[in-house]
Structure 1
Amino acid sequence: MFIRAYLRASTKEQDATRAQSDLHKFAEERGLKIAASYVENESGASLKRPELFRLLADCSPGDVLLIEQVDRLSRLNATDWERLKGEIRSRRVKVVALDLPTSWSMIQSNPNDIQSRMLDAINAMMLDMLAAIARKDYEDRLRRQAQGIAKAKEEGAYRGRPEDTERNAAILQMLRGGQKWRDIAAATGCSMSTLSRLAKRLADEPMQTNTAEA
């Protein structure tokens, strides 16, 4: 049995490794060690998480997926959560979360023991409940954000996120140099929508120059 820690944060500005010491402490208190850590900055509401699926691909039956909180694993909608659970079940991986005490005994329990099977069932139910709560919190936050933006727009106070002028200048330079969008996104961490907007700005530059000369 190998213990594999999964650490996730939603944005590149957040520290995905923040809980690493807590996970190592949890394992050490039980006389165990974490074999590998998988870290990524991706939304928990999306299944597009390469490090999570790399972790699962590395697992053998009986390995442990260790997380700080269930919402680090899932803020998924019901359909995607079922898909992820199916992948975890098919690989016979145990999910252990620091915020889910019913899962703690799974890290050392005997899979043939009747008590262990009962705990597996309880743990699965609790995982579903906490994943549903995490999804509701995510949707509530999005709704409050949208309401706040709508109100600010009505009052004329909404200006949006300030532009990262230094980064965008570098992106424009890369676009002028003919670099591929995929390479630019990987180097700067920008989204494809940002690249599209800046490419349009670049395409409009000659028109702006001609208009000024006229």
Structure 2
Amino acid sequence: MNARIYMRASTKEQDAYRAEQELTAFCKSKDITIVGKYVENYTGTSLKRPKLGMLLTESNADEVLLVESVDRLSRLSLEEWYQLKAIINKKGLRLIVADLPTTHTLISDDDLTSNILKIVNNMLLDLMATMARQDNDKRRERIKQGLANAKAQGKQVGGRSKNYAIREKVTRYIEKNLGAEEIAKLADCSVATVYRVKKEIQSAKQVCA
């Protein structure tokens, strides 16, 4: 059986390396052949991701789509999560989540077992995808609350010369775990601005804590 590994990591190379090592070992233990590895530095809240799109385009029916955990594949809204599942099912892929053991049974060709567990897995995947989205929303809300608390306490969270719209963009991209250089390009600002906003967010989190 062939597998395509999808890794959505932060910009730190060691994050992708760790996931790659663990998923490679998983495939070896299950006698699965890896035919593609896709590393994405992109937000899980977006359905349109370059590497994920490439994986889905290049994949073939009955191959395994292997991810480390559900939140690496999706922090999508429920509607978009259903869209992604529909694409995966249409391609005939077997979605295996390394830290969700019930999905490992889909590697088997036992029709009876697979049919029963498909129902269970579908429910678990929906639940975990919803939790991943909620976790992302809560994290964003904590950052906003921290900034508000910092302002209320008279702490500096932004100079007068700063462009508020740019700062909001930078904050959103930071929440998506993008790298400083990538954020600077997307927000049309300097790398120094990105690091300054990161420092402000960290300060706000400490106040919120």
Shorter-chain TM-score range: 0.7 to 0.9
- Residue 155 of structure 1 deviates from its aligned partner by 1.6
- Residue 136 of structure 1 deviates from its aligned partner by 1.0
The reply to whether residue 19 of structure 1 matches residue 19 of structure 2 is yes
Q: Are the equivalent residues in 1 in contact too, given 2:44–2:71 (CA < 8 A)?
A: yes
Match of 1:208 in 2: none
Structure 2 unaligned residues grouped into runs of 5+: 159-180, 191-209
Match of 2:182 in 1: 189
How many Å separate the matches in 1 of 2:157 and 2:70? 35
User: TM-score, normalising length from structure 1?
Assistant: 0.72
Q: Are the equivalent residues in 2 in contact too, given 1:59–1:91 (CA < 8 A)?
A: yes
How many Å separate the matches in 2 of 1:70 and 1:52? 14
Structure 1 unaligned residues grouped into runs of 5+: 161-187, 199-214
Higher relative contact order (CA 8 A, sep 6+): 2
Please give the secondary structure, in 1, of the residue aligned with 2:17.
Answer: coil
Q: 1:13 to 1:110 in 2, by over 3 A?
A: closer
C-alpha RMSD of the superposition: 2.0
Match of 2:119 in 1: 121
Q: One-letter code of the match for 1:82?
A: Y
Q: Are the equivalent residues in 2 in contact too, given 1:8–1:17 (CA < 8 A)?
A: no
Equivalent residue in structure 1 for 2:135, among 134, 137, 148: 137
How many Å separate the matches in 2 of 1:154 and 1:7? 40
- Residue 67 of structure 1 deviates from its aligned partner by 0.6
- Which one has a bigger Cα radius of gyration? 1
More helix by share: 2
How many Å separate the matches in 2 of 1:115 and 1:123? 12
Q: Are the equivalent residues in 2 in contact too, given 1:24–1:33 (CA < 8 A)?
A: no
Deviations 1:14-63 (A, max 9, x none): 63333111101111112223221000100111112110111111111111
Match of 1:149 in 2: 147
Q: 1:158 to 1:81 in 2, by over 3 A?
A: farther
User: TM-score, normalising length from structure 2?
Assistant: 0.74
Q: Are the equivalent residues in 2 in contact too, given 1:149–1:158 (CA < 8 A)?
A: no
Please give the secondary structure, in 1, of the residue aligned with 2:45.
Answer: coil
How many Å separate the matches in 2 of 1:44 and 1:4? 18
Q: One-letter code of the match for 1:120?
A: K
Q: Are the equivalent residues in 2 in contact too, given 1:66–1:97 (CA < 8 A)?
A: yes
Match of 1:110 in 2: 109
The reply to whether residue 91 of structure 1 matches residue 91 of structure 2 is yes
Deviations 1:113-152 (A, max 9, x none): 1221111111111110110111111111111111001111
Q: One-letter code of the match for 2:71?
A: D
**Identity value in percent:** 40
Deviations 1:67-90 (A, max 9, x none): 111100011111111111111111
Deviations 1:150-180 (A, max 9, x none): 11112222435xxxxxxxxxxxxxxxxxxxx
Match of 1:36 in 2: 36
How many Å separate the matches in 2 of 1:125 and 1:138? 20
